[in-house]
């Protein structure tokens, strides 16, 4: 396949720009470029085919199964797009006067109510643009809370070693020192280690529940109490909310602040199809510190709250990725309270169905029941046949399935983490189980075939080590 630069032919451009009908002005000395812009020159027909070819080489939720663990790659319903494209949502500007966008503000107030209800939180900000951005915002709320009380000795955030890497990174960005605590044998928080770690320097705990090994921490009430008793606050990473939405609420588990990935749990496009939205919910003790603006109801009018003395500041321009919120709101309203709960139940059922179908062919890191995702360890397979988690993941590509999450969580060696989500049918799950079992038996009978996979793609295995050691960041032509 050719690069767009390689398709370029000098002089073959598509000049579709309308004639300039405003006065032109020259750029200041030193700012104007001295040579022509070096862009590929291709005809419209060629460029259209080029991007179609690229799209054919990609794999998205619309192409096939995408069981990327901890990423909740659920189907993105088309009705979400329809709602977000309505002119009252799509054709407005954030600087329009509030009287002219009452419906848009009402939708934000409604979204705040509904996401508050789902999480057990009092208020929600939709300003953060994505998950880790939401984490940072949540930790800044905790920081503002302690500072408002003159409690400046709290400099540490506790993070279990099973956490997503973004947790310690977000807390570090907010200026905190990270205390990592090891997990126990079930992959859950070790209560004794937590008790030993908390103190009057504890600002808070960041926790994902169910955690990254797909287990719901049954000691959750005791965990959040230990942190509260030490004077810290509890942060809920909403990465795995899909397993419990409509069933259990972070607010009832003792959490004070939570971020939601609307682009995961609430079915808006994810990854390259984003943008995301990392909505942050909090208990009322943290509400004064939320970023502004926020949409509020005042009698029968809707307003934008833009100023108060206590907000810790802005994390993004205007009010976040607004249309993503509309898509997520559409999803929640489409499913309703019963549907939200049922989605979580089926997500857990699907994961357990797959885990059970694979348990004879693969070793489970934490046998028993799982929540919405499960982790397999291929340590034994690697030792015996030389086939690693990476090899099995690559081999899945030949079966038309996106590889699951690999080598995460870090506490499991040769990990493959699978999250089917509720939107996959039993037939799809059966096909995936069959594919994974076929790969496991091929790993024994003909390991070379698995180690050299994928065989059906334009590129088999990119040289990741070479690319990381000697990155070429610029294409010269």
Partner 1 sequence: MNIPSELKFTRSHEWLKDLGNGTFEIGISDFAQHELGDLVFVNLPQEGDAITADEPFADVESVKAVSDIYSPVSATVTEINEEVLDAPESINSNAYEAWFVRVENVTETAELLSAEEYEAFLNEEA
By CB under 8 A, residue 469 contacts partner 1: yes
Q: What is the DSSP letter of 213?
A: T
Q: Per CB under 8 A, which of residues 130..169 are in contact with partner 1?
A: 165
| 16 contacts partner 1 (rule: CB under 8 A) | no
Q: Provide, rounded to whole angstroms, the least separation between the CB of residue 469 and partner 1.
A: 5
Compute, in degrees rounded to 10, the torsion defined by CA atoms 226, 229, 235, 240.
Answer: 30
410 counts as binding partner 1 under rule CB under 8 A: yes
Cα 6 from chain centre:
35
Q: Is 407 in the site for partner 1 (CB under 8 A)?
A: yes
In this complex, which beta carbon is closest to partner 1, that of residue 292 or of residue 397?
Answer: 397
User: What DSSP character marks residue 183?
Assistant: B
Q: How far is the CB of 467 from partner 1 (least distance, A)?
A: 9
Among 464, 472, 473, 476, binds partner 1 (CB under 8 A): 464
**Residue 459 binds to partner 1 (criterion: CB under 8 A):** no
Residues in Cβ contact with 357 at an 8 Å cutoff, skipping those fewer than 6 apart: 429, 430, 433, 437
Using the minimum distance from each CB to partner 1, give the nearer residue, 181 or 279.
181
CB of 410 to partner 1, least distance (A): 6
- The CB-of-141 to partner 1 minimum distance in angstroms stands at 27
Q: Which of 145, 143, 144, 124 is nearest to 134 (CA)?
A: 124
Dist. CA 158–CA 153, nearest whole Å: 15
Q: Are 303 and 242 in contact (CB under 8 A)?
A: no
> Pairing relation of β-strands 257-259 and 233-237?
parallel
- Size of site (CB under 8 A) for partner 1: 9
Helix 166-173 × helix 131-148 angle, to 10°: 40
196 binds partner 1 (CB under 8 A): no
Q: List strand residue ranges (DSSP E) for 182-300, in order.
A: 202-208, 233-237, 257-259, 280-282, 294-298
Beta strands 374-377 and 415-418 are antiparallel
Q: CA 412, CA 409: separation in Å to the nearest integer? A: 6
d(CA 281, CA 252) in angstroms, rounded, equals 13
Contacts 24+ apart (CB under 8 A), 298-301: 301/102
Between 469 and 472, CB nearer to partner 1: 469
Only one of the segments 55-63, 305-313, 317-325, 402-410 lies at the binding site for partner 1 (rule: CB under 8 A); that segment is: 402-410
Strand pairing class (233-237; 202-208): parallel
The distance of closest approach from Cβ of residue 465 to partner 1 in the complex, given in angstroms and rounded to an integer, is 4
Residue 244 or 417: the one with the smaller Cβ distance to partner 1 is 417
Window contacting partner 1 (CB under 8 A); options: 97-105, 135-143, 401-409, 422-430: 401-409
User: Which of 22, 26, 95, 465 is the binder for partner 1 (CB under 8 A)?
Assistant: 465
Please identify, among the stretches 12-20, 72-80, 99-107, 406-414, the one whose residues bind partner 1 according to the rule CB under 8 A. Answer: 406-414
Residues 164-193 that bind partner 1 (CB under 8 A): 165
Residue 19 as a binder of partner 1 (CB under 8 A): the answer is no
468 binds partner 1 (CB under 8 A): yes
Closest CB 468 distance from partner 1, rounded Å? 4
Contact footprint for partner 1 (CB under 8 A):
165, 406-408, 410, 464-465, 468-469
């Amino acid at each position: 396949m050719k690069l767009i630069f390689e398709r370029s032919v000098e002089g073959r451009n598509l000049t579709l720009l309308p004639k300039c009908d405003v006065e032109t002005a020259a750029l200041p000395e030193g700012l104007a470029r001295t040579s022509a812009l070096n862009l590929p020159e291709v005809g419209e027909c060629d460029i259209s085919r080029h991007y179609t070819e690229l799209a054919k080489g990609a794999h998205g939720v619309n192409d096939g199964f995408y069981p990327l663990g901890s990423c909740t790659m659920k189907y993105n319903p088309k009705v979400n797009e329809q709602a977000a494209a309505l002119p009252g949502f799509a054709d407005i500007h954030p600087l329009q006067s509030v009287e002219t966008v009452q419906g848009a503000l009402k939708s934000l107030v409604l979204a705040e109510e509904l996401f508050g209800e789902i999480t057990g939180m009092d208020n929600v900000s939709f300003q953060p643009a994505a998950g880790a951005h939401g984490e940072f915002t949540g930790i800044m709320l905790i920081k503002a809370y302690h500072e408002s009380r003159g409690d400046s000795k709290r400099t540490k955030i506790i993070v279990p070693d099973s956490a997503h890497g973004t947790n310690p990174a977000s807390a570090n960005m907010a200026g905190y020192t990270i205390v990592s605590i090891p997990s126990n044998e079930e992959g859950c928080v070790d209560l004794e280690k937590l008790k030993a770690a908390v103190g009057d320097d504890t600002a808070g705990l960041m926790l994902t529940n169910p955690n990254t090994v797909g287990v719901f921490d049954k000691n959750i009430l005791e965990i959040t109490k230990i942190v509260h008793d030490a004077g810290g606050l509890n942060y809920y990473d909403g990465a795995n909310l899909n397993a419990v939405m409509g069933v259990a609420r972070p607010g009832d588990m003792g959490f004070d602040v939570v971020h939601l990935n609307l682009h995961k749990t609430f079915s808006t496009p994810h990854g390259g199809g984003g943008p995301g939205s990392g909505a942050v919910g909090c208990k009322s003790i943290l509400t004064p510190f939320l970023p502004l603006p926020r949409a509020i109801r005042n009698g029968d009018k809707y307003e934008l709250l833009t100023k108060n003395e206590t907000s810790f500041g802005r994390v993004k321009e205007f009010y976040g990725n607004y249309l993503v919120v509309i898509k997520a709101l559409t999803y929640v309203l489409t499913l309703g309270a019963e549907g939200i709960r049922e989605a979580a139940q089926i997500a857990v059922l699907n994961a357990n169905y797959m885990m059970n179908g694979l348990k004879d062919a693969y070793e489970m890191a934490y046998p028993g029941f799982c929540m919405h995702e499960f982790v397999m360890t291929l340590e034994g397979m690697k030792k015996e046949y030389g086939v690693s988690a990476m090899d099995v993941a690559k081999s899945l590509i030949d079966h038309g399935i996106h590889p699951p999450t690999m080598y995460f969580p870090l506490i499991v060696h040769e990990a493959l983490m699978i999250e089917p989500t509720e939107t996959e049918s039993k037939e799809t799950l059966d096909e995936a189980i069959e594919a994974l079992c076929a790969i496991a038996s091929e790993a024994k009978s003909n390991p070379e075939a698995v180690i050299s996979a994928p065989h059906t793609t334009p590129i088999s295995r990119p040289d990741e080590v070479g690319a990381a050691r000697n990155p070429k960041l610029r294409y010269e032509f």
